[in-house]
C-alpha cells in the first residue's frame, strides 16, 4: 500500500487576466519522490511551486499538506528580510530539534562565511546562502526553483551529491538538463494550464513529450475532418427527419466548441542570426599569452589557434580566470606577455551574462533598436520590432513594456534577440543558458550548429557544452590552461586517460611497496578530501574578494602618510591572501583531477 502523500494539489486553478494559467492541475508528492517540474517559460511552473509552498492562494482546487511535514522553498530571488548576516539567515531556516551544526557545515561547504553581511553578497553568494538555508533542516519536501542559476560546475556537482544523500522529497525546476537527469526519478510536465506526469526521470521526458504532442496533433486533424464532413452533410445531405437533423446540428456545434477551446502548444522561438561578410580562415591566434594581477597568475603561457567555424567552450570554477582569458582572446584585454592576433574581417557580437546591454528604464522596443525607430535590420532586411520580437515569443502589447518589468526568461530572450540581430561572424556568449527554457535552448543549440561563423562560449551547463562545442579550454594548475577536443564529457575523459597514463611512470620512479596504501584509498576520496573539494571554490572566491579589497585600499597614495601602520598591515595581509589563494587553487585542481580519475 502506497504511503499517504506529503503534499497534494488537486484541481488547482489560477487565472491572471484572461486565459487560465493553471486549469485544474494535480500534483502528488510522496516520501522520497524526486520530481522534475518542466514546461515552457510562462507556463506557470514557479507559480505552481509557490502555491505548493503556501505563498500564493489558488482561485480554486484543494491544497493538502501533511500537518507534520516540513517544507522548504527556494525562490529564484532570495529575500533576506531582517537577517543581517549569512549565519543568521541560514539558521532562520531551521526548525525545532534541527541540528545547528548543519548551518556551519553548509555555509562552509558553499564557500561562504557565517559573519558575511547579507547586504554585501553578490548574486552567486546570495544563491548559495539561500541554498544553505533550505538544505539545513533536511526537510520532508524541498521545492527548488532554478537552484543551479549563478552556480559554477563544482558547486552544481556538490549540490547533486548533497541532494542524493538526503531523504527529502524533491520538486525542482531547472533548465540544466544534466542536473535534472542526475537528480530526478519522475517528471511533471506543465503545459497549457494542465499537468501530465511521467513516472520516469527527466532523461525519458523529451521523447515522451514529442509522442504526446504528435498524438494530440493527429487527434486535432481527425476532429477537423469530422467537422468538415458534418458541415457538408448539413448543407448538401438528403433531408431526413427533423429530430435527426437537430441532433447532428447539436453535435456539430459541440465539435466546433471543442475545437475552439483546444489550446495548441505554445509556438516556438524563431531564431535568425544577423550575417556579415565571412571572416578569414584564421580568426584568433594566441601565442604564449599570460596575465597576472599582483602575484596571482590567472593565465600562464597559453597558446591556441581558433579557425573559422570553430565552437570553443571555456569552463572552470568561478574566479579561476575564464573572463580574463576570454577578454584577451577577443582583444579587449592586453596580455602581460605573448601575442594575440585577430584575423581579417572579424566582426564581434557579445552576449553578456550580466545583461548589461539592457537598461531597466527603456521599453522592450527601445532596448532592441537603441531608440532608433520601430525597425531592426536582420540579415540586411528591415523588420518591424513587433514581428521580430514575436519570433522570440513576445506579444505585440509587450513592445512598450519597460525592460525592468520583464521576467528573467523574458530578459534573456530579449538580449538574445538583440545579440542575434547584430551582424557578426564571431559570436561570444557568456553564460547564455541562464533563464532560458529548454525549447529555447534547443533552438539556440541548432543555431550555433548551423552558424557559418565562429563561436566562443563560457558556460557551466554540461549538457549545453556537450551539444555545442568542438573543443573545450579548461584550467590545469598554476594559471595553465589546456585545450581538449570535444565537449565537457570528452574533456573529463581525456583528463582521466592522462592521469592513468601518468600513474605507471610515477610508480616506476618512486617504486612504492605494494602495501604502502590501502586499497580503499585508491577507490574513493577520503572525507577530508571530499570536504575540501566542496569548500575550496567558495574559499577561492572569498580570497579573491579580499585581495581586490586590499589592492583597492593600498592603491590610495595617501595611505602610507596618513597611517603607516595600516599600510604595513594591509601589505602583509595582501601577501598572505595571495599565497593562500595560490595554495587553494592548486589544491582544488589536484583534488578535482583525482575525483575525475576515481569516478572514471
Phi then psi for residue 57, to 5 deg, are -95, 130
Cell numbers describing residue 122:
553578490
Please check whether residue 324 is in contact with residue 162, taking contact to mean a CB–CB distance below 8 angstroms: no
In our burial notation (b when 16+ CB lie closer than 10 A, e otherwise), range 255-273 reads: beeeeeeeeeeeeebebeb
Q: Is 124 annotated as a binding residue?
A: no
Q: Is 323 annotated as a binding residue?
A: yes
- Sheet containing 7-15: which strands, arranged edge to edge? 20-29, 7-15, 60-65
Mapped onto helix, strand or coil, the DSSP state of residue 222 is: helix
Please check whether residue 313 is in contact with residue 473, taking contact to mean a CB–CB distance below 8 angstroms: yes
Q: For residues 300 and 284, what is the distance between their CA atoms, to the nearest angstrom?
A: 18
Q: Pick from 304, 302, 310: which is nearest to 279 by CA? A: 310
In our burial notation (b when 16+ CB lie closer than 10 A, e otherwise), range 349-380 reads: bbbebebeebeeebbbbbbbbeeeeebbebee
Q: Is 45 annotated as a binding residue?
A: yes
Contacts for 364 with CB less than 8 Å, ≥ 6 apart? 385, 389, 394, 398, 399, 400, 401, 402, 403, 406, 414
Q: Is 319 annotated as a binding residue?
A: yes
Cell numbers describing residue 101:
551544526
Cell numbers describing residue 541:
572566491
| Packing angle, helices 527-554 and 123-135, rounded to 10 | 150
Q: Which runs of consecutive H residues, i.e. helices, occur in 262-376? A: 322-329, 364-369
First vs last C-alpha separation in the chain: 40
Q: Is 40 annotated as a binding residue?
A: yes
Please check whether residue 64 is in contact with residue 55, taking contact to mean a CB–CB distance below 8 angstroms: no
The answer to whether the Cα torsion of 36, 445, 150, 463 is positive or negative is positive
Contacts for 332 with CB less than 8 Å, ≥ 6 apart? none
Q: For residues 5 and 224, what is the distance between their CA atoms, to the nearest angstrom?
A: 41
Q: Is 434 annotated as a binding residue?
A: no
The answer to whether the Cα torsion of 148, 150, 155, 157 is positive or negative is positive
Centre a 10 Å sphere on the Cβ of residue 206 and count the other Cβ atoms it contains.
15
In our burial notation (b when 16+ CB lie closer than 10 A, e otherwise), range 557-569 reads: eeeeeeeeeebee
Mapped onto helix, strand or coil, the DSSP state of residue 93 is: coil
Please check whether residue 193 is in contact with residue 166, taking contact to mean a CB–CB distance below 8 angstroms: no
Q: Is 471 annotated as a binding residue?
A: no
Cell numbers describing residue 211:
509522442
Cell numbers describing residue 291:
596575465
Q: Is 97 annotated as a binding residue?
A: no
Q: Is 507 annotated as a binding residue?
A: no
Q: For residues 314 and 487, what is the distance between their CA atoms, to the nearest angstrom?
A: 10
- Tell me the residue length of the chain: 600
Q: Is 321 annotated as a binding residue?
A: yes
Please check whether residue 12 is in contact with residue 22, taking contact to mean a CB–CB distance below 8 angstroms: yes
Q: Is 60 annotated as a binding residue?
A: no
Binding residue positions for ATP: 39-46, 316-323
Residue ranges for the known binding site are 39-46, 316-323
Amino acid at each position: 500500500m502506497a504511503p499517504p502523500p506529503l503534499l497534494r494539489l488537486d484541481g488547482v486553478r489560477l487565472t491572471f487576466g484572461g486565459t487560465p494559467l493553471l486549469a485544474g492541475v494535480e500534483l502528488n508528492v510522496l516520501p522520497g519522490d524526486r520530481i522534475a517540474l518542466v514546461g515552457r517559460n510562462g507556463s506557470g511552473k514557479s507559480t505552481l511551486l509557490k502555491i505548493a509552498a503556501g505563498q500564493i492562494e489558488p482561485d480554486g482546487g484543494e491544497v493538502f499538506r501533511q500537518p507534520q511535514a516540513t517544507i522548504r522553498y527556494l525562490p529564484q530571488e532570495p529575500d533576506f528580510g531582517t537577517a543581517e548576516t549569512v549565519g543568521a539567515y541560514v539558521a532562520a531556516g531551521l526548525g525545532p530539534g534541527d541540528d545547528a551544526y548543519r548551518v556551519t557545515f553548509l555555509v562552509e561547504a558553499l564557500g561562504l562565511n557565517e559573519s558575511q553581511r547579507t547586504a554585501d553578497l553578490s548574486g552567486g553568494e546570495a544563491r548559495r546562502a539561500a541554498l544553505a538555508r533550505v538544505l539545513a533542516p533536511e526537510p520532508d519536501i524541498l521545492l527548488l526553483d532554478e537552484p543551479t542559476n549563478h552556480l559554477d560546475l563544482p558547486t552544481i556537482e556538490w549540490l547533486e551529491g548533497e541532494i542524493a544523500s538526503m531523504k527529502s522529497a524533491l520538486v525542482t525546476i531547472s533548465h540544466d538538463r544534466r542536473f535534472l537527469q542526475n537528480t530526478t526519478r519522475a517528471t511533471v510536465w506543465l503545459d497549457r494550464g494542465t499537468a501530465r506526469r511521467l513516472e520516469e526521470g527527466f532523461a525519458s521526458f523529451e521523447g515522451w513529450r514529442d509522442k504526446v504532442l504528435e498524438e494530440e496533433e493527429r487527434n486535432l486533424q481527425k476532429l477537423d475532418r469530422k467537422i468538415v464532413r458534418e458541415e457538408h452533410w448539413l448543407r448538401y445531405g438528403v433531408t431526413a427527419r427533423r429530430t435527426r437533423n437537430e441532433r447532428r446540428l447539436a453535435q456539430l456545434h459541440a465539435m466546433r466548441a471543442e475545437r475552439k477551446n483546444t489550446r495548441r502548444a505554445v509556438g516556438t522561438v524563431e531564431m535568425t542570426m544577423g550575417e556579415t561578410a565571412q571572416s578569414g580562415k584564421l580568426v584568433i591566434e594566441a601565442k604564449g599569452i599570460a596575465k597576472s594581477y599582483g602575484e596571482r597568475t590567472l593565465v600562464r603561457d597559453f597558446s591556441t589557434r581558433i579557425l573559422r567555424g570553430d565552437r570553443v567552450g571555456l569552463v572552470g570554477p568561478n574566479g579561476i580566470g575564464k573572463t580574463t582569458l576570454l577578454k584577451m582572446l577577443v582583444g579587449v584585454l592586453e596580455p602581460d606577455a605573448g601575442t594575440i592576433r585577430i584575423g581579417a574581417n572579424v566582426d564581434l557580437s557579445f552576449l553578456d551574462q550580466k545583461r548589461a546591454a539592457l537598461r531597466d528604464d527603456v521599453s522592450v522596443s527601445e532596448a532592441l533598436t537603441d531608440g532608433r525607430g520601430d525597425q531592426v535590420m536582420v540579415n540586411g532586411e528591415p523588420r518591424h520590432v513587433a514581428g521580430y520580437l514575436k519570433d522570440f515569443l513576445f506579444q505585440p502589447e509587450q513592445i512598450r513594456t519597460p525592460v525592468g518589468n520583464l521576467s528573467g526568461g523574458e530578459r534573456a530572450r530579449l538580449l538574445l534577440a538583440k545579440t542575434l540581430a547584430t551582424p557578426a561572424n564571431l559570436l561570444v556568449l557568456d553564460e547564455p543558458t541562464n533563464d532560458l527554457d529548454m525549447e529555447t535552448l534547443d533552438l539556440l543549440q541548432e543555431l550555433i550548429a548551423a552558424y557559418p561563423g565562429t563561436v566562443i562560449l563560457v558556460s557551466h551547463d554540461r549538457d549545453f557544452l556537450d551539444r555545442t562545442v568542438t573543443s573545450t579550454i579548461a584550467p590545469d594548475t598554476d594559471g595553465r590552461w589546456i585545450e581538449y577536443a570535444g565537449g565537457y564529457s570528452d574533456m573529463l575523459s581525456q583528463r582521466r586517460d592522462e592521469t592513468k597514463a601518468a600513474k605507471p611512470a610515477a610508480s616506476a620512479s618512486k617504486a612504492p611497496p605494494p602495501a604502502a596504501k590501502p586499497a580503499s584509498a585508491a577507490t574513493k576520496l577520503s572525507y577530508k578530501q571530499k570536504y575540501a573539494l566542496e569548500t575550496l571554490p567558495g574559499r577561492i572566491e572569498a580570497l579573491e574578494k579580499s585581495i581586490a579589497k586590499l589592492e583597492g585600499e593600498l592603491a590610495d597614495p595617501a595611505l602610507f602618510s596618513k597611517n603607516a601602520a595600516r599600510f604595513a598591515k594591509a601589505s602583509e595581509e595582501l601577501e598572505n591572501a595571495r599565497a593562500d589563494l595560490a595554495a587553494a587553487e592548486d589544491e582544488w585542481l589536484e583534488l578535482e583531477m583525482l575525483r575525475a580519475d576515481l569516478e572514471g
